[in-house]
Structure 1
């Protein structure tokens, strides 16, 4: 094994959004009442925000109580691994025009439950990195 002088490479904004747009499953971290939860969600990235659907429950209640969220996707191949993290504010869409726009997005729930609530994450920070795996 040779040590790379710069083993972790940071992704620029364009590459982060490209990876977000190329994927549709990630993890949403929410915090409420001193507790933190992480939920798998399918999502749609439009290039500047993330959109997902949810049903009433812990996730919706948590992000309504504290709109600051984090979202992460990651992946690996046989030789490298990567991750993209989005931090931002989650907003439940209630305006009929916003809901109509969300209905037009290519976003369908994966779970067989009814998810009537659209949530948009407006990023305050988007970061990403990749590195060559040393276990190969």
Structure 2
């Protein structure tokens, strides 16, 4: 990042706070040795972990359980040329503890595509980065879109 490029870095706590405000993000994982990106609904747990709720027999679960993945979410205001993006990188694991599953069934995310056999996947936030663009098409208060 270069000085005065219109972006500023977001602190970890601010990244997690913003992440919790949006309903959909993208999980980045490896499928057949190639990068894959899939939009998913999600939630953020109290410790900052990203939580997914999906079919226990899905290709996604098989591909990410025990793997390092990236998760990205953002919010963009196209009219103002502004927005932010947060990326969480960490290990994804299927939640297996019965007490934790019970807690997440009450408080965790709801899948947009319900399945008879659902599991929760937790992405531990090992690396959390984010940045924000504020008024990307203005310079010193002058609108550059004219």
Class of the TM-score when normalised by the shorter of the 2 chains: 0.7 to 0.9
Aligned-pair CA distance for 1:17: 1.0
Which whole-Å CA distance do the structure 2 matches of 1:88 and 1:45 have between them?
Answer: 14
Q: Quickly say closer, same or farther: Cα 1:115–1:13, change in 2 above 3 A.
A: farther
Q: Is the 8 A contact 2:24 2:42 kept in 1?
A: yes
Which whole-Å CA distance do the structure 1 matches of 2:4 and 2:69 have between them?
Answer: 33
Aligned-pair CA distance for 1:76: 1.2
How many residue pairs match? The answer is: 132
Aligned-pair CA distance for 1:18: 1.1
| Aligned equivalent of 2:51 | 51
Which whole-Å CA distance do the structure 1 matches of 2:35 and 2:100 have between them?
Answer: 28
| Aligned equivalent of 1:86 | 88
Secondary structure of 1:98's counterpart equals helix
Aligned-pair CA distance for 1:19: 0.5
Task: Please tell me the root mean square deviation across aligned C-alpha atoms, in Å.
Answer: 1.9
TM-score by length of 1: 0.86
What stretches of structure 1 move > 3 A for 4+ residues in a row?
112-115
| Aligned equivalent of 1:68 | 68
Structure 1 unaligned residues grouped into runs of 5+ = none
Q: Is the 8 A contact 1:68 1:90 kept in 2?
A: yes
Q: Quickly say closer, same or farther: Cα 1:12–1:87, change in 2 above 3 A.
A: same
Which whole-Å CA distance do the structure 1 matches of 2:37 and 2:117 have between them?
Answer: 18
Larger radius of gyration between Structure 1 and Structure 2: 2
